[in-house]
A and B are shown apart, each in its own frame.
Chain A
Amino acid sequence: MTNRPRQLPVHAMMIVLSVLALFPVYWMIVTALKPETEIFSTALWPKAPSLENFGYVLEAIPMLRILWNTALMASATAAAQVLTGLLAAYALVRWPFPGVKLAQAVIGLSWLVPFQVTMIPNYVLATELGLRDTIAGLVIPNAAAAFAVIVFYNAMRSFPKEVIEAARMDGAGASRILWQIVAPNMRPALAALTVLAFISAWNEYFWPLLLTRHIENAVVQIGLEMFMSQEGNQWGPMMAAATLASLPILALYLVLHRQIIDSFMRSGLK
């Protein structure tokens, strides 16, 4: 409050950055509203905005079905990563064994293994298990994530040991302590991780591309691809589909944004 003049350049900078971040989103929506004739115009608003691209998308591909598939896949992936992450981190924090440091290092390193390395074995395995063209096939390889384990490990390590001991004195067993004492105090980490895992699953492209055979079983990133072709891209419908694909993410963010910001602020302050 007292140094208002000095805040001015800071605010100006933030406004510029926000515009830079938001402009592509704005352009996506505007392009989706443009009729075919205007598609390459650089005007900031179409002369004759219309929803025809959206109509086309819904006819050309089973878009609602695809959105549903994606939501299912992304929710299941996020839930699985949270669950496995919580369990693994809890075990590492509560029962440190000789070599626990090594185990952590290995978990951390697995995060750095590129997808291309595991792609073929995963594909072979998924095929053998009959998981091609299924949601389960999309979820299972991503059900455990090193990132989730690391995030929860750090959150739990700073959770006071005495509180866990108090619960042990109260007669609570290991799993009751995890679900009734530890997890409820991990809310910021849980929210942040859920969102990150959900978004990254939502944006998944290569693995679904490998696994999907039929458009009814596809996820949105595959759906978007339908509007790209050798003869040229159908920009209007593609942007309409992209807009539809972004809405659920936006909704998720609006619901959880307080916890997310909270969590990022906290990890930034450490």
Chain B
Amino acid sequence: MAAIELAGIEKRFGESHAVRGVDLAIASGEFVVILGPSGCGKSTLLRMIAGLEAVSAGTVSLDGVPMNGVEPGRRGCAMVFQNYALYPHMTVAENIGYGLRVAGVPKREREARVRSTAAMLDIETLLDRRPAALSGGQRQRVAMGRAMIRNPRVFLFDEPLSNLDAILRQQMRGEIKRLHRELRTTSVFVTHDQVEAMGMADRLVVMNAGRVEQVGPPADVFRRPASRFVAGFIGAPRMNLIDAAVTAEGTLAVGGWRPCDGLRFRAAAGRAVHLGVRPDALAPMPPAGGGPVFTADLVEDLGTEIHVHARGEGIDLILQRHADAPPIDTSFAVAIPPRAVHLFDAETGLRIEPDAAETLRQGAPAWDARRHSSI
């Protein structure tokens, strides 16, 4: 178990700038998930922690000891690769025990440790097989065993579940978390799958284009996304993002529409912003007043929930409704509960918080978005 500290980490591959200044401290025993779209530099960051890739700038430290220039095998990190990367010519037992063999552990002890590791992963019956004779899920377990056997200080996972089918993926997700509860080894888990990320992380690191966008517990990242990118990336269906402007009074204007009039923002008048609302926070209501009228043009019934894709006056929206909610009219207006509003600067993409004092003075209702959505 070790604390990891990344300070000013950069990585360039010739012209391309894969990682652009990452500072991150991971506490000992923590399970951190790095989430981001494909190509954003997650693997590169992980490989720099492992030592498989040299940093272009910055320092990687484990327990306060700088690791730059230390060989991967001497950092005490173990890695599980996306395509498992088992040694094709070795049996499962030899695969799992190879690290111990390199370390010069005597054969007898090695065999005992291989057996007990295999027992933890339920693969004792496979020890004499070669990787080619294993299923994807079994290979995954062998790869886990190979990582576990040396009691590493840090586990690094690079999208280890993405080659598995949905059921197996869910099962392995549970198993990895169970192992983490038992072993308490500091873990860094890279994925592009937000469900995986939200479900597994103690702390979530959202990356985009080589930078960290936001760090925090998954629930916080979901409830208060720090940037438009995070808002759009996390949550399914995606958060609705509507082009809007801040008025002279600090309210929001979408064309002639003044949604959530009670909210006040301290931003320059005319400032272009994106108004974000999660699909489950939008409530349809009969068309009345000045708001735009939306027409549902696609209704997806997913069994547990219904997604309504609607458009009106150039705005596309998705509404998420409970499966047992009354059917929606073909034409409707929407109410945006003030508590459900996320506002982002159109230029910087950063979150703008409502001006709490000003909002209160205007007597905006303290509307609970979650309660509201379940109407």
Contact = CB atoms under 8 A, between A and B. Distances in A.
Interface of A: 160, 162-163, 165-173, 176, 181, 184-185
B299 to A, nearest CB: 44
9 contacts: A162-B81, A163-B88, A165-B85, A167-B98, A168-B71, A169-B52, A169-B77, A169-B99, A172-B102
Contacts of A169: 50, 52, 72-73, 77-79, 99
Interface string B43-80: 00000001010000000000000000001111001110
Nearest to A184: B89
Nearest to B89: A184
A181 B87 CA distance: 7
Given A165-B52, A176-B102, A170 B85 contact: no
B72 A168 contact: yes
Contacts of A173: 73
Q: Is the interface of A mostly helix, strand, loop or mixed?
A: helix
B78 A163 contact: no
B206 interface: no
A172 B78 CA distance: 13
B146 interface: yes
A157 to B, nearest CB: 16
A184 B85 CA distance: 15
Contacts of B87: 163, 166-167, 181
Among A163, A169, A171, the most chain B Cβ lie within 10 Å of the Cβ of A169
B103 interface: yes
Contacts of A160: 83, 85
Contacts of A163: 85-88
Nearest to A186: B89
Contacts of B50: 169
Nearest to B95: A166
B89 A185 contact: yes
Interface size class of B (residues with CB under 8 A): 20 to 34
A169 B81 CA distance: 11
Contact of B81 (A166, A170, A176): A166
Given A162-B81, A162-B83, A176-B102, A168 B88 contact: no
A168 B99 contact: no
Contacts of A184: 89
Contacts of B86: 163, 166
A165 B81 contact: yes
Interface in B6-54: 50, 52
A164 to B, nearest CB: 9
A263 B88 CA distance: 17
B48 to A, nearest CB: 13
B101 to A, nearest CB: 8
A170 B90 CA distance: 14
Nearest to A162: B85
A184 B102 CA distance: 16
A135 B71 CA distance: 43
A169 B72 CA distance: 5
B89 A170 contact: no
Contacts of B150: 170
Contact of B88 (A165, A171, A176, A185): A185
A145 to B, nearest CB: 26
A184 B94 CA distance: 14
Closest 9 CB pairs of A and B: A171-B73, A162-B85, A170-B99, A166-B85, A171-B102, A184-B89, A168-B72, A162-B81, A163-B85
Nearest to A166: B85
A172 B98 CA distance: 9
A170 B73 contact: yes
A162 B156 CA distance: 14
Given A169-B78, A170-B98, 8 more contacts: A163-B87, A166-B79, A166-B86, A166-B87, A168-B72, A171-B74, A171-B102, A184-B89
